[in-house]
């Protein structure tokens, strides 16, 4: 996935969040709002995982003296996603 695809996905999420705001303003049902929140969380998680995955590939493909440290940082980032 390239930068453009990430931005498209994030703009879609932005639209979902605006929709969520509208739903709250319109006092839509809790079930609909919760469903939309779940969709936003899922979309963010998906983008986050793809970004971390790309970073991991880059990190592991580059041989450097501090690769172990970078992998440790990557694992911490992964833990914060879940």
Task: Inform me whether the pLDDT recorded for 21 exceeds 70.
Answer: yes
Phi–psi pair at 9, nearest 5 degrees = -60, -40
Q: In this predicted model, which residue has the larger pLDDT, 59 or 12?
A: 12
Q: What is the pLDDT of residue 82?
A: 67
The secondary structure of the chain, three-state, reads CCHHHHHHHHHHHHHHHHHHHHHHHCCCCHHHHHHHHHHHHHHHHHHHHHHHHHHHHHHHHCCCCCHHHHHHHHHHHHHHHC
pTM of the model: 0.72
Residue pLDDT, tens place only, 23-72:
999 999 999 999 999 999 999 988 988 888 887 777 677 756 677 777 77
Q: In this predicted model, which residue has the larger pLDDT, 3 or 40?
A: 40
Domains defined for the chain, CATH in brackets? 3-81 (1.20.58.1000)
The position carrying tokens 């501090």 is 66
Task: Inform me whether the pLDDT recorded for 14 exceeds 90.
Answer: yes
Report d(CA 8, CA 12) in Å as an integer.
6
Q: What is the pLDDT of residue 69?
A: 77
């Amino acid at each position: 996935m390239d930068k453009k695809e990430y931005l498209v996905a994030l703009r879609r999420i932005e639209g979902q969040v605006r929709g969520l705001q509208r739903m709250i303003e319109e006092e839509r049902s809790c079930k609909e709002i919760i469903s939309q929140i779940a969709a936003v969380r899922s979309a963010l998680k998906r983008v986050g995982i793809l970004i971390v995955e790309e970073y991991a590939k880059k990190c592991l493909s580059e041989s450097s003296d501090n690769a172990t440290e970078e992998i440790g940082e990557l694992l911490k980032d992964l833990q914060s996603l879940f």
